[in-house]
Structures are given as structure tokens and as C-alpha cells.
Amino acid sequence: MKRIAIEEHCLTDYFLEYLEGRKEYPKLESVVDEEGQRRWRWWDSAGEFTYWLPEFVVNRYSEIGDSRLQYMDEAGVDIQVLSFNYNIDRLNAADALALTRKVNEKMAEAIKKYPDRFVGFTAVAPKDPKASADELERTVKQLGFKGTMILPHVNGEFIDNKKYWPIFERAAKLDVPVYIHPMFPPPERLQPYLEYPDLSGAMWGFGAEAGLAVMRLICSGIFDEYPNLTIILGHLGEAIPFWMWRLDNSMIKAVAHVPKGRRESKDPADIPLVNKLKRLPSEYFRDNFYVTTSGMMWQPALLCSELAIGADRILFAADYPFESSKEMVDFIESSAISEHDKEKVFHLNAERLLKL
């Protein structure tokens, strides 16, 4: 059975060398720990680093060639959709834009060399939304890329802000998806996590940031403005499939609790969502979203997503190099979904969505 993995990350050797060479923050430095193991310390700012990465993870993260292909073959993955998920907006807009263009060219070289094994999502620098939209169009039309990946916020400012809409508008015009990848909460939202730092990452904070960003997008009316806009979410939907009934029910009931004067107000902040949006949250989610299996090897979550949005909206992904591709393949193979639905998840849905 063919398998297309759709959330598989790469920094490229070029970007890794750039980070290593930086003297100011953000930067990446290599250290040897007390056990003699080489690790990479990922600094965002002085006195604070985001996380440690083992050397083998960084090597996999940056390489797009024989080693990655060998790993894919051993895991039974036919195609990886390459994506750049670094928080590039820590840099100034001009540097970020120049770097993402170079990263896209490096990914394009690998795709050209291995056209049957790699597909690309465009790296963009949302600090400059117009330039990011132009770069998306360039890479789709000239390099054959199939979509883009962005993060939930730009230095704390959520992506539902209309200044970022040009990226979504261009994606809708090009008929390519936007993958929203999780990230750490910004400093102003870190306080509740500080007593238990592990919570700020994949354990909770990643999903909390991505899920909130998506709900803000839905509430912003962007899907009424661009009805064919397609969003991809990892981790089987960042818990939103589980919440869909409650989202709808709460939005419908909320209007009854709003004082009549506010219901008739012209202030956008006073208008209940049920009077502001054309559809319910679940309807947008079923029609404008796909979810992937990345980093979520749990049968109840898979079955919940299938029941909530249908097998036609679930895509196979592993979250390389942070999760095991082989374990994810085995998870889907052993799951309780039908053989035909496994075909959809493994490759049919991705082929349809990405026009492969």
C-alpha cells in the first residue's frame, strides 16, 4: 500500500549552518552533555533556550537525501511532503524572507533530484504577509510546491489578524492548503506553564496554541471570505474534532445570554458569533479542514476524528524527525478503521488534496 507522509520537516543544511554561525539570538549551539553525548541547544533569547535536541535528530532534521530516503524505506514511506517549521519570525522581516527563499530553493533541489520521493510545502515569513504570499505563488507556479506551512502566531500576534490574510487569500486563489503547525506559547502567555515547563511544548502548549489559532480563524469569518480556503491541522485536529458538538451548541446558546441592547449593537465586538458567521464551527471544520495523524498514535483519537469529520479528511503523517515513521505506519496498519479507509489515509486523500 502506498504511503504519503504529509508533515515531515526539514531545516536544510543551509539553514542549520546559518543558525550555527549566528552570534546573536536566535541561535543554535552544539554542546557535549555530562554523559558525553553531543546535543544541540536551541536558544531563542539570552538566558532562555527553547529546547534541547539530540544530534541525530538535528542531522535528520537538516538532511534531504540518502539518509532520509533510507529511513523512509525502512519505515515503508513512499513520499514525504517536506516542510520548514522553524519560527523564522524571530528574525527581522527582510532576513526571514531571504532565508525562506533560500530554504525553498534547497528543498526544490532535493525534489528535483528525487521527484518520486519528495513534495514541498513553501517556507514563508509571515512578518511580511504580502511578500510571503508572493513567495507562495512563485514556488507553486515555478517549483511545483503544493501548499505552505505557517505557525499559530507571529511573535504573539495570532494569524487571524487581517494583516496576515494575504497569505490565506493567495493560498485560496492558488487552490493549495495551508498547514498550521503548533509552536510554543509566546512569553506573554507562558506564565501558567512556568511551574511545569514540560506543559509548554508538545505535552499541552503546542496544541493549545494551534487549537486557539484555528478557532480564532473560524470566528474571524475568513472562511466566509474565502470559502475554498483549505487548512491542515496535525495531531488529529488539535482536539477540535472532540469539541465540535460543544462548539456549535455553545455558539447557538450564547446569543440568548446576551442583553438585547448588545444584540442590536453595531459594534463588531458585541455581535454574537451566530449572527456574524454564515455557518457553525463544525461545518467549517468538516468542509475547510483536513487533519493528520502526526504525533498522535492513539486509537480513540483516530476513531473520534473519523466519526467527526470522516475518513476522507484524514491524512497520514509521522512528524519526522520527532516521531517514528515506522511506528506511525504500524499504528495505522493495526487500527480499527477499514482497509479502504486506510488507503484513504495513507495516500488517496493526499493525492486528491495535493493533486499528485
The set of cell numbers assigned to 150 is 505557517
Cα dihedral across residues 182, 183, 188, 193: positive or negative: positive
Please give the single-letter amino acid code of residue 309: I
198 is catalytic: no
Q: Is 49 left (phi over 0), alpha (psi -120 to 50) or beta?
A: beta
Phi-psi region of 79 (alpha: psi -120 to 50; beta: other; left: phi over 0): beta
Segment holding 178, helix H or strand E: strand 178-180
- Strands 79-83, 4-9: pairing kind: parallel
Catalytic pick from 128, 160, 319, 341?
319
C-alpha cell at position 266 = 453595531
* CA 1 – CA 351 distance, rounded (Å): 14
CA–CA distance, 276 with 284 (Å, rounded to integer): 14
Q: If you count them, how many residues does the chain have?
A: 356
Strands 27-32 and 48-54: unpaired
- The answer to whether 89 touches 35, Cβ cutoff 8 Å, is no
Catalytic residues: 319
